[in-house]
Amino acid sequence: MAASNPPVKGVAFKTAICLEDYANPGNFKANPTIAAGDFKVSIDGGALANLATLPAVEPAGSIWVEIDGSTSEMNGDRIMFQCIDQTSPKEWADFSFTIMTTA
């Protein structure tokens, strides 16, 4: 298998995460509901903004949530993603991750 390329500043980037089931800690949430405002991005510590493309469960019905960072959302050295379910009660647990880009 070929090695994957690291995220590059200013280049669209796709990754996938799994979200913990809020009602069943320690388990991934199958087919989590994703709504506008659940996923936000901060570029180099700037203000949070909703992702341009709403993440989606891919493949359908699985535990994988595919996140697409656009070229503008990836135009920084440190890209921080905030994932917080806005529904009440929560379906999945809060999650965050940071991507460091290369030149």
pLDDT in tens, 54-80: 999 999 999 999 999 999 999 999 999
- The Cα–Cα gap between 9 and 31 comes to 31
Q: What angle do CA 25, 96, 6 make, to 5 degrees?
A: 120
> Which CA distances in Å does 45 have to 6, 32, 76, 89, 98?
20, 28, 9, 29, 11
What pLDDT is stored for residue 1 in this prediction? 42
- Give me the numbers of helices (H) and strands (E) for the chain, helices first please: 0, 7
Res. 5 pLDDT band, cuts 50 70 90: confident
